Amino acid sequence: MTARPDITVAADSTGDFTTIQAALDSIPEGNNSRKTVLVKRGSYPSRIKITRSFVTLLGEDRKDTRIEYALRSEDFEKSPDNIGRAVVNIEASDVIIRNLTIENTQPQTGPHAFAIHGETLDRLIVCDCDLLSVGADTFAPWNKQGMSYLKNCSIKGGVDFVCPRGWCYMEDCSLFEVIRHAALWHDGSGNQSQKFVIRNCTFDGVKDFFLGRRHHDAQFYLIDCTFSDNMSDEYIFRQTYPYEPLQNGINLWGDRAYYFNCHRSAGDYPWHKNNLRTAPGSPKSEDVTPEWAFNGKWNPEL
């Protein structure tokens, strides 16, 4: 937070640029040192694409710095462009998004409406942010071999609204599910060690929302999480297809969901009792750190 900004964006023209995209585009290709883009209070109604590595987007105010845009994925598919399907599209490494709000403002509950998406991003950090959508796939870091880290965020969405592929660690976040569907989703089919760790997060949503699901092989670790009464009694389920079972995803490693000290306010369900010691390597709760989750390849907590 204390880093001096390299570039300032202000909607009211008091900065170097009036749009975030213009600021990003001023950073040279091949950039390899941290560049901090300070985004002043204001609403920035647009999609952006980050293609430079080592960029930090830092909001002046978490609530009052807003990047927002209304886009359903299905509409994007009808006329795709090279910006992307999300409000913030990231195809770069070592990007940090901090202290701002990103909202996909399309109003319909349920359909795919990404806030953050990228297929080649890696070592992404998002902290102190609100990531909002009432559609599906709000936070979608989709590099099948990528790593992402979330801290102290508030995330809202319809279906699978925190849906990383590869390795992901999320802590101190609050999640809200706006329909009766799955909140979490993971694709860990790229490597048996891929995992999605969720620590000290709170889950809430409409009555009978679901904790999570998977289509492919996945691996979930939930530590010190709390669930509201509204969560339904269904473990993180594998999605299969009633009419076309050939669409069922790959399932080589079976159900892998590990829990420690996770509780539901009105009473626990049997499927989230402590079973962390049955995970590979029988880790203790305190072993489940970001560095451990990322196999020692990255420690985002610097």
Partner 1 sequence: MAASIYPKPDLVVAADGSGDFETVQAAVDVIPADNAKRKTILIKRGTYTGRTKIATNNITLLGEDRHETRLEYPIRREDYERNRDNIGRAVINIEASEITIRNLTLENTQDKLGSQGFVLHGATLNRLMVRDCDLISIGANTFSPQNGACGMYYVRNCLIKGAVDFVRVYGWCYIEDCSLFQFIQHASIWHDSSKGPDGKLVLRNCKFDGVKDFFLGRRHKDAQFYLVDCTFSENMHDEYIFRQTYPFQPFRNGPNLLRDRQYYYNCHRKGGDYHWHKDNLASAPGSPKPEDITPAWTFGGKWDPLSPA
Beta carbon of residue 234, minimum distance to partner 1 (angstroms, whole number)? 6
Q: Does 208 participate in binding partner 1 (rule CB under 8 A)?
A: yes
One-character DSSP codes across 2-27: -SPPSEEE-TTS-SSBSSHHHHHHTS
Give the contact letters, 172-201, x = binds to partner 1 (CB under 8 A), - = no. Answer: --------xxx-------------------
Q: What's 180's DSSP letter?
A: S
Q: How far apart are CA 183 and CA 156, in angstroms?
A: 9
Tell whether the torsion through CA atoms of 132, 115, 234 and 236 is positive or negative: negative
Q: Does 109 participate in binding partner 1 (rule CB under 8 A)?
A: no
Name every residue whose Cβ is closer than 8 Å to that of residue 33 and which is 6 or more positions away in sequence. 54
Nearest residue (CB) to partner 1, 1 versus 246: 246
Give the contact letters, 227-266, x = binds to partner 1 (CB under 8 A), - = no. Answer: -----x-xx-xxxxxx-xxx-x--xx-xx-----------
Beta carbon of residue 247, minimum distance to partner 1 (angstroms, whole number)? 9
What are φ and ψ of residue 71, in 5° steps?
Answer: -155, 115
Name every residue whose Cβ is closer than 8 Å to that of residue 302 and which is 6 or more positions away in sequence. none
Q: How far apart are CA 123 and CA 293, in angstroms?
A: 13
Give the contact letters, 125-164, x = binds to partner 1 (CB under 8 A), - = no. Answer: ----------------------------------------
Q: Contact positions toward partner 1, by CB under 8 A?
A: 180-182, 208, 210, 213, 232, 234-235, 237-242, 244-246, 248, 251-252, 254-255, 270
